[in-house]
Amino acid sequence: MKVTEITVTSGRTFNHPHEQYSNLRPSVTLNATLDADDDPDAAVKALQAKAERLVEDHKTLLLESLDRIWEQDQIDQQIDDLERQLTSAQSRLDLLRQKRQLPPMTEEGGP
């Protein structure tokens, strides 16, 4: 038998780092056409190693990107919370300032 073409597939399945019940499945398929003087066994090993590296590198990039997105979402949530707190505090401050500026009550209950 003469091997003239090789197809190799590599893939990973791993949990999403920030979501429950969510998996990621990066994969790659590589094809190679062999020349007459190529060693098929060596070519398969080399192609498989390359496919494994590509998938592992892709997994690493996915995880880094998801971490950056998650961190950005956390920052956005904190900003929203702080803005709401500031708005509420400013409203309360304005109300207290208005109350402080009211003329004092007389004994009859009016100014």
pLDDT in tens, 21-56: 999 999 999 999 999 899 999 999 999 999 999 999
Q: Dihedral through CA 11, CA 17, CA 22, CA 25, nearest 10?
A: -10
C-alpha dist (Å) from residue 72 to 66, 69, 84: 10, 5, 18
Q: What is the C-alpha separation between 11 and 28, in angstroms, rounded?
A: 6
pLDDT at residue number 39: 93
The whole-model pTM stands at 0.71
Structure token digits, residue 97: 């300032």
Phi then psi for residue 12, to 5 deg, are -135, 150
The chain-wide mean pLDDT, for the chain, equals 92
pLDDT at residue number 111: 57
Q: What is the C-alpha separation between 111 and 94, in angstroms, rounded?
A: 21
pLDDT at residue number 101: 84
**Is 12 in contact with 59 (CB distance < 8 Å)?**
yes
The percentage of the chain sitting over the pLDDT mark of 70, rounded to a whole number, equals 93
Phi then psi for residue 100, to 5 deg, are -65, -30
